[in-house]
Chain A
Amino acid sequence: MAVEFSRNITFGQYLNLGSPIHRLDPRTKILAVSALMFAILLTRTFGGLAVALVGAALIFAFARVPLGYTLRGMRLLANTMLVIFVFQVLFFRAPPERTLWSWWILSFSWDGVFQGSLTLLRVLLLYYLVNTLMFTTPLMDLADGTEIMLEPLKRLRVPVNELVMTLVVALKFVPLLVAELERLIKAQTARGARFDQGSLLQRARKLGAVLIPLFVNALGRAEVLTTAMDARCYRGGRGRTKRRVLTFRRADGLALGLALLLAAAAIVVSRVIGI
């Protein structure tokens, strides 16, 4: 029964656990995670990923977020990951002498399996980093951190505050709309509807029956929030100040330095040393 979504949804959920990672400056966390992500993207070897893994392990050790909780959100995604793994394996073109089996454009080789595992590990690491960032940083800290870092763009007349606010609104509405969707689906299930059956078109139409009220209700709520923001004098970034003072402490310097070091090491290990 796909009635209770919220159980498996961890996206954007902040966990107030008060760990050392929680106390870091959001800018530190954003930059550190970005650096590690960048390194992981450039990494083509297990050696490099192992270095990045050290970074993730350090974060895990300090963040106090149960591993099971982080991976819970992945449950729903396990299928896709499996498919991608198979995809990677079958499409990998190993040199002919190392190919064990091939048919049309598909082939199988241990090199392919190796490549697939590499991708899988990479995905897991990226997923872990991004989600841990969200679990340990309140939404508004992330928003303010991003906005401050993008400050220079304001000179180019990029509406930074407005763009960040769009994201804030989106993340604010996610749990509300999940609950709304849950209610709609519950009502339909209680009246005997099944969402996991039927042909493609039938499913599209059934989905329509959920999506139309979802869109209509969501747009209605958007009107209310617009009015509420107007009433609270929101007029974009113009003349807006911030309550939050972001302070870069010694721990931040340490954490960021370590992250940059690990990121650089991962790239070097992978690209220069090649293990």
Chain B
Amino acid sequence: MLEVSNLSFAYNAGREDAIQALSDVSLHVAPGELVAIIGHNGSGKSTLAKLLCAILAPTAGSIAVDGIPATADNVWEIRRRVGMVFQRPDDQLIANTVIDDVAFGPENLGLPRDEIERRVRDSLAALGLADLIHAQISELSGGEKQRVAIAGVLAMQPAYLILDEPTTMIAPSQARQLIGLARDLRDRVGLAVIHITHFMPEVVGFDRVIVLDGGRVLMHGTPREIFGRADELRAVGLSVPQVTDLARRLRARGVALPEVVLTAEELAVALFDHRPPLRQSSGQATNDHRNGTESQEPGIAQETGDGRRVTSDARPETRDQTPNPQPLLEARDLRYTYMDGTPLAQEALRGVDCALYEGETLALLGGTQAGKSTLIEFFNALRLPQRGHVFFEGQDVTAPGFDLDRLRQAVGVVFQQPETQLFEETVGKDVSYVPRRKGLPPAESRALVAQALTNVGLDYEAFRLRYIYALSGGQKRRVALAGVLAAQPRVLVLDEPVAGLDPRGRAELAALIIDLTRRLGLTVVLVGNAVDELAELADRAVVLHEGRVAMEGPLRALLRRAEELHALGLELSEPAEIALALHAVFRDLPTDLLRIEELEEALMNRLQIVNCKF
């Protein structure tokens, strides 16, 4: 039993700049329990985790692990029993091969050789890494690295495993697999798992959920109890899973559903009783009805009577109808290999053909390692094509006399994880980097900075002198965006701009980007590894897979080909994934859905049919 009673902790305790991170926290975790800790940024989750494995010592209150009090004398004993995995895989792995890293912990415990060997193999097998035992860590994907990190902890045979946001830096599909594996461990070796996260769907299968806010325990209960209190959660910057939200909306419209629905499967079961009558009894009338309601909504696929689908244009109203014949940027048979000619060669682009037209918003989608980030580096001549071509306004960028500076000026890129790429000390300095470099007069530069900061939703006066490192992750991304906007580009390329943020930061930034794109009328490329909240902005989508363009077209048309997208390693939008899960009940439920409201309507239509009949 892991027992925490009246625990308080302050950083810099006793000094005037003390930060009270935890106050009067009491909780307990039984062996073999699955406990999730949620809370928004700065609520004290990581601090609690570090206290639990004796990296920090409490300023007040006590912690006991299996009856052993966490005091300075028992530090190593506690750390052996409570293992911890951190957010960034790269920063916590020590060796450079899988087997050596997993052996690091057992070696520290001074175990005999064959025992170490056995534990290493067992824990690698438990995490499905047996084949990668001799692999180089640098060659693994983020999800695999995190599994190695867990295996490394598991090999020390702890009784409690703490996962501190292990999923924020990895792709959604890998994240699901990771959580599945962690839960497996409970069943197989009786490990208690304490999972810290921002992502609500991850915690639905847990035994208990603890909600932290401002260093205190705000709520405590089963996922069902916690997610039943959606409004309270929202008040502290947390959300409920979208399917829970959907069920709540349906309930509010009179559909008889249980109070809290946690998964799409649960919803499917609950809706089973409301399913439409069998084929022979349905017939014309229902179809007419369906067409009638759906056509009120622009952008949703319509179905003709014979079940074939006809696409309505994705967003006919947004852009002018005549497409510009000449693309602004175009890649033709573009190929690129990293470390070409070495044993480490890595083919990233294998003949990409795609175009970007003035004024459009293009979604560049693809699973991890599809080559998205590599491709966009060609868009502003950070890389020049060696094989294949890139054209800017019809001119080959490698042609002699081509003005690369003009291209770099025209295309502004916000790279992946932009917060790691800010290089000046203060916000003002960073945002004014390009204006200063261009030698603009101070007044003009100030105006640009003010405008850029305002555009990204940061108050100019309050932020111009703020130190970069003192900003939150979401704020840093805004500053990076402002820095690019201050250069007044014609094309804005955003590489996974909302990935890895907590839900509140993510929602805010997404709303801001949507607003910005519509307002500034720029040509925009949105790079993403899932069809997310930003995708609905796009006029057109290009799906990359293994360095080639695998699919192309209006986003909703692509969403209708759900299986193909899945096969390409791409996540659908959450409503579409839920719709897919509900196919067991409503076989004709469309998947070209971007918002939960659309799914709600689609379901209501089908349910109303039933209601009409009975």
Any B CB within 8 A of the CB of A16: yes
Question: Of A10, A213, A232, which one neighbours B104 at CB under 8 angstroms?
Answer: A232
**Cα distance A244–B76 in the bound complex, in angstroms:** 23
Given contacts A13-B344, A210-B423, A243-B113, contact A232 B108 (CB under 8 A): yes
Verify B96–A139 contact, CB threshold 8 A: yes
**0/1 string, B406-439, CB within 8 A of A gives 1:** 0011001101011011111100000001100110
The residue among A171, A186, A217 with the most chain B CB atoms within 10 A of its own CB is A186
List the B residue with the shortest CB-CB distance to A211: B423
Verify B405–A192 contact, CB threshold 8 A: yes
**Cα distance A189–B382 in the bound complex, in angstroms:** 8
**Cα distance A69–B108 in the bound complex, in angstroms:** 36
Specify which chain A residues have a CB less than 8 angstroms from the CB of B136 in the assembled complex: 14, 16
Any B CB within 8 A of the CB of A227: yes
CB of B156, distance to nearest CB on chain A (Å): 7
List the B residue with the shortest CB-CB distance to A241: B110
A residues 162-210 touching B (CB-CB < 8 Å): 168-169, 171-172, 175-176, 180, 183-184, 186-193, 209-210
Specify which chain A residues have a CB less than 8 angstroms from the CB of B103 in the assembled complex: 243-244
**Cα distance A65–B86 in the bound complex, in angstroms:** 36
**Cα distance A27–B415 in the bound complex, in angstroms:** 44
Question: B195-203, B335-343, B501-509: which lies at the A interface?
Answer: B335-343
A residues 35-61 touching B (CB-CB < 8 Å): none
Verify B110–A184 contact, CB threshold 8 A: no
Specify which chain B residues have a CB less than 8 angstroms from the CB of A227 in the assembled complex: 50, 55, 86
**Cα distance A135–B597 in the bound complex, in angstroms:** 56
Question: A1-9, A88-96, A257-265: which lies at the B interface?
Answer: A1-9
Specify which chain A residues have a CB less than 8 angstroms from the CB of B80 in the assembled complex: 233
Verify B92–A228 contact, CB threshold 8 A: yes
Any B CB within 8 A of the CB of A158: no
Specify which chain A residues have a CB less than 8 angstroms from the CB of B55 in the assembled complex: 227, 230-231
Any A CB within 8 A of the CB of B469: yes
Question: Of B105, B341, B380, which one neighbours A232 at CB under 8 angstroms?
Answer: B105
**0/1 string, A203-239, CB within 8 A of B gives 1:** 0000001101100110001001101111111110001
CB of A115, distance to nearest CB on chain B (Å): 34
**0/1 string, B339-359, CB within 8 A of A gives 1:** 111111000000000000000
Given contacts A231-B53, A232-B105, A233-B156, contact A191 B86 (CB under 8 A): no
Verify A168–B95 contact, CB threshold 8 A: yes
Verify A224–B86 contact, CB threshold 8 A: yes
**Cα distance A243–B88 in the bound complex, in angstroms:** 26
Given contacts A1-B382, A14-B136, A243-B106, contact A231 B79 (CB under 8 A): yes
Specify which chain B residues have a CB less than 8 angstroms from the CB of A175 in the assembled complex: 138
Question: Of B97, B106, B433, which one neighbours A138 at CB under 8 angstroms?
Answer: B97
CB of B431, distance to nearest CB on chain A (Å): 11
CB of A91, distance to nearest CB on chain B (Å): 37
**Cα distance A146–B498 in the bound complex, in angstroms:** 45
Specify which chain A residues have a CB less than 8 angstroms from the CB of B111 in the assembled complex: 241
**Cα distance A180–B88 in the bound complex, in angstroms:** 14
Any B CB within 8 A of the CB of A140: yes
**Cα distance A31–B156 in the bound complex, in angstroms:** 34
Verify B382–A17 contact, CB threshold 8 A: no
Any B CB within 8 A of the CB of A240: yes
**0/1 string, A110-138, CB within 8 A of B gives 1:** 00000000000000000000000000001
Any B CB within 8 A of the CB of A105: no
Specify which chain A residues have a CB less than 8 angstroms from the CB of B437 in the assembled complex: 191-193
Any A CB within 8 A of the CB of B331: no
Given contacts A193-B437, A245-B113, contact A184 B86 (CB under 8 A): no
Verify A190–B423 contact, CB threshold 8 A: no
Question: Of B120, B338, B413, which one neighbours A7 at CB under 8 angstroms?
Answer: B338
Verify B423–A188 contact, CB threshold 8 A: yes
Any B CB within 8 A of the CB of A268: no
Verify B422–A234 contact, CB threshold 8 A: no
Question: Of B83, B96, B338, which one neighbours A172 at CB under 8 angstroms?
Answer: B96
Verify A191–B156 contact, CB threshold 8 A: no
Any A CB within 8 A of the CB of B527: no
CB of B372, distance to nearest CB on chain A (Å): 15
List the A residue with the shortest CB-CB distance to B484: A191
List the B residue with the shortest CB-CB distance to A236: B108
**Cα distance A68–B339 in the bound complex, in angstroms:** 12
Verify B116–A231 contact, CB threshold 8 A: no
List the A residue with the shortest CB-CB distance to B82: A231
CB of A98, distance to nearest CB on chain B (Å): 44
Verify A138–B100 contact, CB threshold 8 A: yes
CB of B52, distance to nearest CB on chain A (Å): 10
Verify B96–A231 contact, CB threshold 8 A: no
List the A residue with the shortest CB-CB distance to B468: A213
CB of A215, distance to nearest CB on chain B (Å): 12
List the A residue with the shortest CB-CB distance to B84: A231
Verify A239–B50 contact, CB threshold 8 A: no
**0/1 string, B69-95, CB within 8 A of A gives 1:** 000000010011001101010111111
Verify B343–A221 contact, CB threshold 8 A: no
Given contacts A139-B95, A183-B420, A241-B112, contact A190 B88 (CB under 8 A): no
**Cα distance A145–B139 in the bound complex, in angstroms:** 24
Specify which chain B residues have a CB less than 8 angstroms from the CB of A241 in the assembled complex: 107, 110-113, 116
**Cα distance A236–B50 in the bound complex, in angstroms:** 21
Any A CB within 8 A of the CB of B367: no
Verify B108–A235 contact, CB threshold 8 A: yes
Residues of chain B whose beta carbon lies under 8 Å from any beta carbon of chain A:
50, 53, 55, 76, 79-80, 83-84, 86, 88, 90-97, 99-100, 103-113, 116-117, 120, 134, 136, 138, 152-153, 156, 338-344, 377, 380, 382-384, 405, 408-409, 412-413, 415, 417-418, 420-425, 433-434, 437-438, 469, 483-484, 487
20 A–B pairs (Cβ distance < 8 Å), ordered by A: A1-B382, A10-B342, A66-B342, A68-B341, A69-B342, A171-B96, A172-B95, A184-B420, A187-B418, A212-B423, A213-B423, A217-B420, A225-B94, A231-B83, A232-B79, A232-B108, A235-B108, A240-B107, A241-B113, A243-B100
Given contacts A6-B338, A10-B342, A187-B418, 6 further A-B contacts (CB under 8 A): A68-B341, A140-B97, A232-B108, A233-B109, A243-B103, A243-B106
